[in-house]
């Protein structure tokens, strides 16, 4: 196989060249490819290959000078991943407070007092899950195969399901 690498002035120019047949392949991070595909007149005609050739970690960002807010955002993100791993979806998050499992009880704020360390109420993690769902629910709703983008979870699966996603426990 031979190829000719071409640079375009903008992403829009590259997409236009792809759609017109001027070029046969586009490469970007996976989520960008799925988003760009939606801009095509016939999105279903563009195939996104499953091979990952680079790592593009995407996640929340905060201002560098607000350390307290950074910690809250970081731990909410960890909590949403933990909620998926612990089996706590938005539909039954309130039941977690009555669990006998120590990890679930800490998550629910029923013991441990972790919320106070962040300057939050003890049930902060449950409130987050009630508001937006656990990581899986958020992913599937916004990015997953049944969403408009249709991105398979792939390496975004939990570590115990073959992916790379894990978070420290809330303690």
Residues 155 and 126 in one domain: yes
Give a yes or no: residue 13 inside a domain.
yes
Which of 58, 78, 101 is the last residue in one of the domains?
58
Distance separating alpha carbons of residues 16 and 122, to the nearest angstrom: 51
Structural domain of residue 109, as residue ranges?
67-161
Residues 41 and 74 in one domain: no
| pLDDT tens-digit readout, 44-97 | 999 999 888 877 778 899 999 999 999 999 999 999 999 999 999 999 888 898
The structure tokens listed for 88 are: 């706590």
Asked if pLDDT for residue 1 goes beyond 80, the answer is no
- Our CA angle for 49, 135, 152, nearest 5°, is 15
CA nearest 46: which of 54, 38, 55? 38
| pLDDT tens-digit readout, 107-160 | 999 998 899 999 999 999 999 999 999 999 999 999 999 999 999 999 899 999
Distance separating alpha carbons of residues 120 and 140, to the nearest angstrom: 28
Would you state the pLDDT for residue 100? 93
Would you state the pLDDT for residue 136? 97
CB 115 within 8 A of CB 106: no
Distance separating alpha carbons of residues 38 and 163, to the nearest angstrom: 26
Residue 101's Cβ-side half-sphere holds a number of Cα atoms within 13 Å equal to 9
Instruction: Identify the H or E element spanning 48.
Output: none
Give a yes or no: residue 166 inside a domain.
no
Burial of 105 (0-12, 13-18, 19+ CB in 10 A): middle
Residues 32 and 73 in one domain: no
Would you state the pLDDT for residue 34? 94
Would you state the pLDDT for residue 165? 95
Would you state the pLDDT for residue 93? 82
Give CA separation, 70 vs 49, 64, 78, in Å.
35, 8, 12
Phi-psi region of 3 (alpha: psi -120 to 50; beta: other; left: phi over 0): beta
Would you state the pLDDT for residue 54? 78
| pLDDT tens-digit readout, 16-28 | 999 999 999 998 8
Give a yes or no: residue 72 inside a domain.
yes
Give a yes or no: residue 167 inside a domain.
no
């Amino acid at each position: 196989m031979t190829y000719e690498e071409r640079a375009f002035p903008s992403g829009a120019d590259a997409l236009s060249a792809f759609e017109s047949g001027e070029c046969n392949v586009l490469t970007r991070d996976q989520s960008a490819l799925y988003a760009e595909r939606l801009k095509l007149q016939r999105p279903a005609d563009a195939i996104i290959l499953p091979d990952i050739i680079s790592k593009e970690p995407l996640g929340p960002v905060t201002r560098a000078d607000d350390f307290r807010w950074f910690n809250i955002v970081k731990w909410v993100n960890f909590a949403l991943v933990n909620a998926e791993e612990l089996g706590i979806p938005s539909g039954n998050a309130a039941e977690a407070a009555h669990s006998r499992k120590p990890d679930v009880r800490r998550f629910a704020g029923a013991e441990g007092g972790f919320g106070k360390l962040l300057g939050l109420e003890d049930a902060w993690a449950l409130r987050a899950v009630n508001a937006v769902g656990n990581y899986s629910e958020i992913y599937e709703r916004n990015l997953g195969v049944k969403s408009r983008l249709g991105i398979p979870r792939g390496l975004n699966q939990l570590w115990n399901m073959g992916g790379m996603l894990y978070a420290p426990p809330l303690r």
